Amino acid sequence: MIEKTGHVPVLLNEVMNVLEPKSMKTYIDATFGNGGYSRKILETLDCKVIAIDRDPLAINQAKKFKDEYQERFEFFNYKFSQLDNLLESLGTKNIDGFVFDLGVSSMQIDNQDRGFSFQNDGKLDMRMSQDGSTAEEIINEYSETDLADIIFQYGDERKSRKIAKKIVSERINKRITSTIELAKIVSSCFAKKYYKSHPATKTFQAIRIFVNKEIEELIEGLNAATKFLAENGKLCIVTFHSIEDRIVKNFFKITGSKNYISNENRENLLFNFKNKPIKPSDQEISDNRRSRSAKLRYGIRNFNNSKVISSNELGFI
């Protein structure tokens, strides 16, 4: 079971089976968190890990890794959108593997002051990087139309208009400041019956994605990764909801297409992409409920010529 103080890495063995870390090679852990993936990679003698995480809370754990692994480990408190510049400035080309374990960590979810969860009451924050606009500002200051669009686009929530209307009518009387307050307002838009997941799940997911610009970040991260991957390098992505999985799947489809560069140059950039993702075993799901929606997709780098794939091409406008 998940410890309250840590994060149990999801699909760890499956990711390592794909990545197959080797001595003297360099790997990027783009979502360091508690360092579960980084540690497993570093167990391979002599390989190197460059890790990033946008949350300043990851810095402490990274310092412990630095003490333990010294020059084999580097950490930067950066976002996916800074990865391209970072790798350019480090002069690091030919990375042998990238891992992206998307979403939030158990440390972030379990800390009620971060506002990611409505299981406990906390302030409506939801910022992974701890900068920029908070969920509270968006919920209280955005127009009804904008809120409805956000909840629909990033939450696939059919009741988005009704929920946005209710939020706007409630905030006239009192500013909405806590996770439980928002969860109650959203729940009141649903009939009282049994739901498989809490009625506020999709709205919370949508606001979190919007606050953290998660889709834009993901697209920049995927493009940066393919630019720096070595020949036969692996790009592994673990997703947790259908919106990010759709982007990843489209990215692999486009880069895996024989017409990727042009109709004349019939070569693909990444290969070995399978339509069917790798999912956690029943045992992992029963040990760690958080893993239940995880999907691992990966591709292997073919040759050294990449171009940027736009959000439009990936079906995200």
Ligand X SMILES: C[S@@+](CC[C@H](N)C(=O)[O-])C[C@H]1O[C@@H](n2cnc3c(N)ncnc32)[C@H](O)[C@@H]1O
Tell me the torsion sign for CA atoms 68, 80, 9, 4: positive
Instruction: Between 86 and 270, name the residue whose CB sits nearer to ligand X.
Output: 86
Instruction: Between 42 and 148, name the residue whose CB sits nearer to ligand X.
Output: 42
- Asked if 36 touches ligand X (CB under 6 A), the answer is yes
Determine the residue with CB nearest ligand X: 36
Interacting positions 3-22 with ligand X (CB under 6 A): 7, 9
266: left (phi over 0), alpha (psi -120 to 50) or beta: beta
**Burial group, residue 83, by CB count within 10 angstroms (0-12, 13-18, 19+):** buried
Give yes or no for a contact between 284 and 6, defined as CB atoms under 8 angstroms apart.
no
Give yes or no for a contact between 22 and 47, defined as CB atoms under 8 angstroms apart.
yes
CB atoms within 10 A of CB 101: 25
Which uninterrupted H or E stretch holds 48?
A: strand 48-52
Q: How far is CA 201 from the centre of its chain?
A: 17
Which of 229, 224, 220, 270 shows the shortest CA–CA distance to 97? 229
Write each residue from 45 to 84 as x if it is in contact with ligand X (CB under 6 A), else as -, in one continuous string: -------xxxx--x--------------------xx----
Q: Return the structure tokens found at 298.
A: 């990966």
Q: Minimum distance from CB of 82 to ligand X (Å)?
A: 8
Instruction: Between 129 and 140, name the residue whose CB sits nearer to ligand X.
Output: 129
Q: Minimum distance from CB of 68 to ligand X (Å)?
A: 15
Q: What's the rounded Cα separation, in Å, for the pair 57 and 270? A: 34
Interacting positions 211-250 with ligand X (CB under 6 A): 217
Instruction: Between 101 and 136, name the residue whose CB sits nearer to ligand X.
Output: 101
Q: Minimum distance from CB of 124 to ligand X (Å)?
A: 18
Instruction: Between 7 and 202, name the residue whose CB sits nearer to ligand X.
Output: 7
Write each residue from 98 to 137 as x if it is in contact with ligand X (CB under 6 A), else as -, in one continuous string: ---x-xxx----------------------x---------
- Asked if 288 touches ligand X (CB under 6 A), the answer is no
Give yes or no for a contact between 188 and 167, defined as CB atoms under 8 angstroms apart.
no
- Asked if 256 touches ligand X (CB under 6 A), the answer is no
Instruction: Between 62 and 150, name the residue whose CB sits nearer to ligand X.
Output: 62
Q: Minimum distance from CB of 134 to ligand X (Å)?
A: 16
**In the complex, which residues of this chain contact ligand X (CB under 6 A)?**
7, 9, 31, 33-37, 52-55, 58, 79-80, 101, 103-105, 128, 217
